[in-house]
Chains A and B, each alone.
Chain A
Amino acid sequence: MSETTDRIALLVKRGKINKASPFPPDLKEQDGADEQTKAALDSGAKPSEILDGCMKGMQEIGTLFSQNKVFVPDLLMSAKAMSAAMAHLKPHFQSGEVKRKGTFIIGTVTGDLHDIGKNLVSMVVEGCGWEIVDLGVDVGADTFLEAIEQHPDCAVGLSALLTTTMPAMSQTVAAIKEKSPQTRVLIGGAPITREFADKIGADCYSPDPQGAANYLSTAAA
């Protein structure tokens, strides 16, 4: 790992967005992920070093989150710092100079409007190097199928927070597996269990975002 990678990783993990941000207090008035990324790219760092830094930082904070050592606000602050760095990488993604690991389509299933959990999963998976297509909440099977058609090599994440919307999750998994058996489907949400995932034929259940990111890293490798 280069020095640039390590610095970006630290800023992402600590949620230091930019110089103007007074948080965390011990990094006050120092450059954040925004300025550091720009400076690094200007002085010839490879975009992949920045991406590696984002991935390392998000992986560290995601792991601490799954261990209950940090909480949702910490994760959101890190995600914001990651976005500040990623914004500078946009042209490099477009030119193909640096590549994402794949596309991750995510949504909350029909009848369910919960989205904080889903958004956290998006952020951590994005930080793990994936492009995110967020379909929002109350998403029907057809909408997932259309999105899969546009991104044939994607993986899909489904979220549900009510037991009454778990049947919709089951139907969505069945519809995806029928039309596109090779697409990996990950599921999660407070009432979801591994047994339920096995029963409905989902490929992965994780109680937290990092578990999803780890699964995707291994599955894509």
Chain B
Amino acid sequence: MSTISFSQEFSASFEELPLGPDRILAAMGYPDSAAPAPVPELVQEALCAAPKHCTCRGIFQVLQSSNVSVGKDFIRNGDLRFSTGKMIAAQIKKSETICVFLTTIGPGLETISRALLHGDDPVKGYVIDTLASEATEAAVDLFAGHMLEYCAENNWKMTNRFSPGYCGWSVAEQKNLFSLFPENTCGITLSESCLMHPIKSVSGIIGLGKNVKKQPYPCEFCTMNNCIKRKLKEKGQ
């Protein structure tokens, strides 16, 4: 018996992603256009070149709400248990069901950046790598935005998205998450050590329901104190 009540695949070109130079520079750590030459130039160059090498694909599947229950530190879909930890379970608690997703931007940019990083232009390679990471995050947000239309039909709202490997949810649980998707969905595979290929991929869940809401400061859920993103946020405050 299928436990999926709705499934939608999305694709998008690089141009559709809300991704500008400031976001990429900020992801590298540079505040307020303080990046030294040639970094801003390389970011512009990478933004121009990226569309040719990047196809964003995602799949979002809504689980049948009658099958889904949320405990203190887990979410259950029939026999399948996600040990998400307390923090995520608390955020999902009021949801009527969850949506599981996978998104990737494909292997194109990753291949180019790796060659440059190991070749004679590591700075350019790193700029492209950062752009690709940000593009992956932007693609998830774009597709999640499309899911809002589906939610509106049911009068539902969405929680933040949560991924295995964050907020106390073990990355080893990728195996459980992947069991809900057909093999090789969107060209994404999972290794024995739970690494996704292409590397620039993100997986996760989102809570859906009438009484859920998105929290404005996702860093507050997270326990990784020495994360560069947290440090940069704190520095900016």
Show the binding face of A for B, using Cβ within 8 Å: 22-25, 68, 71-74, 76-77, 79-80, 110-113, 115-116, 119, 162-165, 168, 190-191, 207
Contact = CB atoms under 8 A, between A and B. Distances in A.
Contacts of B227: 190
B30 interface: yes
A72 B199 contact: no
Contact of B235 (A24, A25, A68, A77): A68
Contacts of A162: 165, 171, 193-195
Interface stretch (B35-43, B87-95, B98-106, B207-215): B35-43
A22 B37 CA distance: 9
A111 B174 CA distance: 15
Contacts of A163: 165, 170-172
Nearest to A167: B193
Nearest to B38: A23
A73 B195 contact: no
Given A111-B195, A162-B171, A163-B171, A74 B129 contact: no
B35 to A, nearest CB: 7
B28 interface: yes
Contacts, number: 70
B153 interface: no
Interface SS majority for chain B:
loop
Contacts of B123: 73, 76-77, 80
A15 to B, nearest CB: 8
B66 interface: no
Contacts of A116: 117, 126, 129
A76 B128 CA distance: 14
B191 interface: yes
B107 interface: no
Contacts of A119: 117, 122
B127 A73 contact: yes
B192 interface: yes
B226 A68 contact: no
A139 B114 CA distance: 18
A68 B231 contact: yes
Contacts of A76: 122-123, 126
B21 interface: no
B213 to A, nearest CB: 29
A168 B22 CA distance: 37
17 contacts: A23-B37, A24-B36, A25-B37, A68-B29, A68-B228, A68-B231, A68-B232, A73-B126, A73-B127, A76-B123, A79-B122, A80-B123, A111-B191, A119-B117, A119-B122, A163-B165, A165-B193
B224 interface: yes
Given A76-B123, A111-B193, A119-B117, A71 B29 contact: yes
Contact of A73 (B39, B170, B172): B39
B198 to A, nearest CB: 11
A80 B191 CA distance: 34
A197 to B, nearest CB: 14
Residue from B35, B126, B199 whose CB has the most chain A CB atoms within 10 Å: B126
A168 B192 CA distance: 12
Contacts of B195: 111-113, 162, 164
Given A24-B37, A71-B30, A164-B172, A190 B224 contact: yes
Given A23-B37, A23-B38, A80 B122 contact: yes
A168 B195 CA distance: 14
Residue from A73, A110, A119 whose CB has the most chain B CB atoms within 10 Å: A73
A34 B165 CA distance: 44
B201 to A, nearest CB: 13
B196 to A, nearest CB: 11
